Structure 1
Amino acid sequence: DIVRGKDHFLGTNEEKKPLEENLKNIFRKLYNELTKEEENGTAIKSRYTKDDPDFYQLREDWWALNRDQVWKALTCEAYGTYFRQTACAGTRKTDDKCRCEGANVVPTYFDYVPQYLR
Structure 2
Amino acid sequence: MGIESKLEAVACTIYGARSVELSPLAKTQAERFERQGYGGLAVCIAKTPLSLSHDPKLLGSPRDFVLPVRELRLSAGAGFVYALAGDVTTMPGLPTRPALMDIDLDLETGAPVGLF
Please indicate the TM-score interval, normalised by the length of the shorter structure: under 0.3
Structure 1 or 2: more strand by fraction: 2
The answer to which structure, 1 or 2, has the higher relative contact order (CA under 8 A, 6+ apart) is: 2
Higher gyration radius (CA): 2
Give me the TM-score of the superposition, normalised by structure 1: 0.24
Structure 1 or 2: more helix by fraction: 1
